[in-house]
């Protein structure tokens, strides 16, 4: 128990639930399972945690709704099934959360929405706003236009990218296995469960095995997802969604499932990740007051502290922040393109809307997206 103190302290959770758990042996969505899961998530929120749910199950629900008896092979058929099934899936969650008077939001994303920097900022802004409003975002891949998860991942990778996006403390991958085993438990019933391991430990690759214990969306994709999540300092736990009170037990720090630990301070991991993410596209020159605010108080950069703009960057690009002597003091993802930054520099954030005719963010660079040099 003491060993998982770090997990018990996690406050922002991404919980991912796979199709195998949500479907009722080809009879569509398992409403009992969904209600049970939702009750567990409600309890987690009552403990003061924030919850983002990443749920598969749209394809499975669509297949049943369309009267098909087997999973199709053509990707467009799978996409069509996902489009049909998504509304059924979200209706189930809406009904279940509504019983607890908790609003949910349907969010459909692709991997590009998280790696393209402008969309990254938009998705991040919306998800943070939803969390602040007490809404549970229910995320799935936007299967109509992208097919990464439908073909390979069953949302494991998407869940990890979402964890990066919102700086989640922990990612819980719920599956129909108890966790990652040292050998395939189907071949060796005595195979031992890995309880805790460094996520970068090379011996894990052999255990997950190519083709995976579970095949599509199997342990290989889960391990890859855990490594992606670790980039922003998120801890990953893989556990069985069929175990009683699994969410409560994992999040209380009980020794359940497999914990793939990052071994890093989340703050440092995230900043390293940001720094490696993109090339610098331009720079802004700060006044002495802004340099102090950034370097000493660790606050966001506001337009009022900027006195010069160099280069031709877009929203979401990485820009270098320089002091009045031209020395780089920080770099970060900028919320406004170069042209708009020139127009709002030196002005109070409350004036952004009247100058530009719109306001996206009050900061020019949010402190979470800023790395001090």
CB nearer ligand GLU, residue 141 or residue 317: 141
CA-to-CA dists, residue 19 to 26, 58, 65, 225, angstroms: 11, 8, 15, 17
CB nearer ligand GLU, residue 90 or residue 294: 90
| Touching ligand GLU, residues 101-160 (CB under 6 A) | 140-141, 143, 149-150, 154-155
CB nearer ligand GLU, residue 157 or residue 341: 157
- Identify the DSSP state of 192: P
| CA distance linking residue 334 with residue 274, whole number of Å | 12
CB nearer ligand GLU, residue 160 or residue 256: 160
- Contact between residue 143 and residue 82 where contact means Cβ atoms under 8 Å apart: yes
- Contact between residue 326 and residue 299 where contact means Cβ atoms under 8 Å apart: no
| CA distance linking residue 276 with residue 268, whole number of Å | 12
Total interface residues for ligand GLU by CB under 6 A: 14
- Contact between residue 52 and residue 14 where contact means Cβ atoms under 8 Å apart: yes
CA-to-CA dists, residue 45 to 48, 80, 248, 303, angstroms: 5, 34, 11, 36
Select the residue interacting with ligand GLU from 15, 30, 34, 57 (CB under 6 A): 57
Select the residue interacting with ligand GLU from 82, 90, 165, 237 (CB under 6 A): 82
CB nearer ligand GLU, residue 58 or residue 274: 58
User: Which region, judged by CB under 6 A, interacts with ligand GLU, from 56-64, 177-185, 190-198, 357-365?
Assistant: 56-64
CA-to-CA dists, residue 230 to 246, 268, 295, 299, 342, angstroms: 22, 11, 26, 24, 36
User: Which region, judged by CB under 6 A, interacts with ligand GLU, from 54-62, 196-204, 249-257, 327-335?
Assistant: 54-62
Q: Largest Cα–Cα distance of the chain, in whole Å?
A: 69
Least spacing, CB of residue 113 vs ligand GLU, in Å = 14
CB nearer ligand GLU, residue 171 or residue 301: 171
Under the binding rule (CB under 6 A), the answer on residue 19 touching ligand GLU is yes
- Other Cβ atoms less than 10 A from the Cβ of 5: the count is 9
| CA distance linking residue 93 with residue 202, whole number of Å | 38
CB nearer ligand GLU, residue 55 or residue 234: 55
Least spacing, CB of residue 143 vs ligand GLU, in Å = 5
Least spacing, CB of residue 89 vs ligand GLU, in Å = 7
Select the residue interacting with ligand GLU from 23, 56, 79, 177 (CB under 6 A): 56
CB nearer ligand GLU, residue 82 or residue 306: 82
Select the residue interacting with ligand GLU from 59, 165, 228, 247 (CB under 6 A): 59
Helix (H) or strand (E) segment spanning residue 131 = helix 117-132
Least spacing, CB of residue 152 vs ligand GLU, in Å = 9
Least spacing, CB of residue 60 vs ligand GLU, in Å = 6
| Three-state secondary structure of 284-350 | EEECHHHHHHHHHHCCCECHHHEEEEEECCCCCCEEEEECCCCCEEEEEECCCCHHHHHHHCCCCHH
Chain residues binding ligand GLU by CB under 6 A are 19, 56-60, 82, 140-141, 143, 149-150, 154-155
């Amino acid at each position: 128990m003491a060993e998982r103190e770090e997990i018990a302290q996690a406050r922002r959770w991404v919980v991912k639930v796979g199709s195998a758990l949500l479907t009722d042996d080809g009879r569509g969505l398992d409403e009992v399972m969904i209600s049970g899961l939702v009750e567990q998530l409600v309890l987690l929120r009552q403990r003061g945690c924030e919850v983002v749910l990443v749920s598969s199950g749209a394809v499975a629900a669509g297949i049943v709704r369309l009267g098909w008896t087997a999973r199709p092979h053509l990707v467009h058929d799978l996409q069509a099934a996902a489009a049909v099934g998504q509304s059924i899936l979200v209706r189930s969650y809406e009904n279940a959360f509504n019983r607890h008077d908790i609003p949910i939001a349907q969010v459909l994303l692709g991997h590009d929405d998280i790696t393209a920097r402008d969309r990254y900022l938009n998705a991040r802004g919306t998800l943070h706003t939803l969390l602040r409003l007490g809404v549970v975002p229910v995320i799935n891949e936007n299967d109509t236009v992208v097919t990464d998860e439908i073909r390979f991942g069953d949302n494991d990778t998407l869940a990890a990218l979402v964890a990066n996006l919102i700086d989640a403390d922990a990612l819980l991958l719920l599956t129909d296995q108890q966790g990652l085993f040292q050998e395939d438990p189907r071949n060796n019933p005595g195979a031992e469960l890995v309880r805790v391991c460094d996520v970068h430990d090379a011996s894990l690759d052999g255990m997950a095995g190519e083709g995976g214990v579970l095949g599509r969306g199997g342990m290989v994709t889960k391990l890859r997802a855990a490594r992606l999540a670790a980039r922003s300092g998120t801890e990953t736990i893989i556990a069985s969604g069929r175990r009683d009170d699994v969410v409560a037990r994992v999040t209380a720090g009980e020794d359940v499932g497999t914990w793939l630990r990052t071994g890093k301070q989340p703050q440092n991991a995230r900043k390293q990740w940001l720094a490696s993410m993109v090339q610098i596209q331009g720079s802004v020159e700060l006044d002495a007051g802004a340099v102090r605010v950034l370097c000493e108080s660790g606050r966001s950069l506001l337009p009022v502290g900027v006195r010069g703009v160099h280069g031709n960057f877009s929203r979401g690009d990485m820009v270098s922040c320089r002091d009045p002597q031209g020395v780089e003091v920080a770099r970060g993802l900028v919320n406004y393109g170069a042209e708009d930054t020139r127009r709002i520099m030196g002005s109070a954030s409350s004036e952004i809307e009247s100058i530009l005719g719109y306001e996206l963010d009050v900061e020019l660079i949010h402190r979470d997206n800023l790395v001090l040099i």
